[in-house]
Amino acid sequence: MTRLWLVRHGPTHARAMVGWTDLPADLSDTAALARLRAALPEAPAVSSDLGRAIATADALDRPRLPHDPALREISFGAWEMRGFAEVEAEDPDTLRAYWDRPGDIAPPGGESWNALSGRVDAAIDRLLALGLPDLIVVAHFGPILRVVQRARGQSARAAFAQKIDNLSLTEVRRGAEGWQVGRVNHRA
């Protein structure tokens, strides 16, 4: 059995759709980081290759595996770094469909939920194949939500109702008996 300790990176404070834009994380809440470190096992950590995830993983002070670009946030394409209202004014039908019927709908030049799911599933499967009893994965809202969705066997629309806060901890186990979901969006 492998327990995945999924940590969402520190906040960026951006008021826009932030996917592949490499914004820094605000890691000034040292008390929250200390509580998070105390809640995690002494296990290796892997992160996406975006700076906000790398810096958060570094702050956890655990042995590191190489960064994995497959753990990146969803690519918002032409919507990247734009506010919801701005995109809605330009393309309301696609925007609503993207959030209301997640699947193959993608922002122009961006990534669909199904595309994100495929790359995240492949990355998680590679990490599970390492056979580690515990692994800390520092990633983003989308990839963490996808792991929870997969583990629960729920629809993407149902998964979208789940909140994943910055510096939160989500615990998922995978073993011979299948997936088990522990704490989700836990604030240590």
The full set of domains in the chain, from first to last, is 2-73+113-181 (3.40.50.1240)
- Residue 171 in tokens: 């615990």
Confidence of residue 188 (pLDDT cuts 50, 70, 90): confident
pLDDT digits 0-9 by tens, 76-119:
999 999 999 999 999 999 999 999 999 999 999 999 999 999 99
Over residues 124-129, mean pLDDT: 98
Q: Write phi, then psi, for 120 (nearest 5 degrees).
A: -70, -45
